């Protein structure tokens, strides 16, 4: 009887195919996850990942690059100075003023940051208020034209004027504007450079 059952079982299998050893429970097993993609990231993704944060130029070393007066950045600073005077708002002009971090690198004096804040910036803001007052009621009718850099700009060597770094300096610049069709100008006493860009350091006089 046992032998007959064995023969029946063997005959039930297709010739050449051994009995299946896979459990019927295998159908409920989750399939293997797909292999990780080896696609190359897009250029935009690579650029985004490698982009470095913006750097404050005032914290970088000085260069011997000669400033120009025809760049968009220069015109933006000049226009900010004009708007500060027009609106009696000195804070608008701070982007046109020589940066504190650069001044700390330039000056060979005790506590240059304090000198920058309490002398230079204080006088700069005072001069803006005074320039606005001179315009009177016509200030709202002003139209910006440009800032002409004084002739004879030269490189000031380290060791001059209490400096430990050199820079380009220009005296006698003029902030030009029009009022009721007439061109006018405000004197800008002194511009100095940082990394190839002009900045105001004295608007009126040298105090």
What was the pLDDT predicted at 161?
A: 86
Count of structural domains within the chain: 1
**Assigned token pair, 70:** 């025809």
What was the pLDDT predicted at 201?
A: 97
**pTM for the predicted model, two decimal places:** 0.73
**Does residue 97 sit within a domain?**
yes
What was the pLDDT predicted at 50?
A: 37
**Does residue 41 sit within a domain?**
no
pLDDT tens for the chain, residues 1 to 207: 444 443 444 344 444 444 343 334 444 444 444 444 444 333 333 333 334 458 899 999 999 999 999 999 999 999 999 999 999 999 999 999 999 999 999 999 999 999 999 999 999 999 999 999 998 877 778 999 999 999 999 999 999 988 999 999 999 999 999 988 899 999 999 999 999 999 999 999 876
* Rounded Cα–Cα distance for residues 133 and 85 (Å): 9
**Does residue 19 sit within a domain?**
no
- The residue whose two tokens read 């070393």 is 61
Give me the domain span that covers residue 175: 58-202
**Assigned token pair, 91:** 């804070």
**Does residue 168 sit within a domain?**
yes
**Does residue 28 sit within a domain?**
no
Instruction: Return contacts of 32-41, CB within 8 angstroms, 24+ apart.
Output: none
**Does residue 190 sit within a domain?**
yes
What was the pLDDT predicted at 10?
A: 39
**Does residue 36 sit within a domain?**
no
Q: Is the separation of the CB atoms in 153 and 133 below 8 Å?
A: no
**Does residue 103 sit within a domain?**
yes
Buried b (16+ CB within 10 A) or exposed e, 148-176: bbbeebeebeeeeeebebbbbbbbebbbb
DSSP 38-52: -PPPPHHHHHHHHPP
């Amino acid at each position: 009887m046992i032998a007959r059952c064995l023969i029946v079982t063997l005959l039930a299998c297709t010739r050449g195919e051994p009995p299946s050893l896979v459990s019927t429970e295998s159908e409920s097993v989750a399939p293997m996850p797909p292999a990780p993609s080896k696609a190359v990231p897009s250029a935009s993704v690579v650029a985004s990942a490698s982009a470095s944060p913006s750097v404050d130029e005032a914290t970088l070393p000085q260069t011997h690059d000669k400033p120009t007066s025809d760049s968009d950045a220069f015109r933006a600073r000049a226009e900010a100075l004009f708007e500060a005077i027009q609106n009696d708002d000195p804070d608008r002009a701070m982007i046109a003023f020589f940066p504190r971090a650069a001044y700390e690198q330039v000056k060979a004096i005790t506590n240059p940051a304090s000198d920058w804040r309490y002398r230079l910036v204080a006088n700069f803001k005072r001069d803006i208020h005074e320039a606005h007052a001179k315009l009177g009621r016509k200030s709202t009718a002003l139209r910006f034209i440009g800032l002409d850099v004084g002739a004879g700009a030269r490189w000031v060597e380290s060791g001059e004027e209490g400096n430990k770094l050199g820079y380009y300096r220009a005296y006698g610049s003029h902030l030009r504007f029009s009022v009721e069709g007439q061109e006018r100008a405000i004197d800008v006493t002194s511009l100095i450079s940082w990394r190839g860009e002009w900045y105001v350091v004295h608007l009126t006089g040298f105090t």
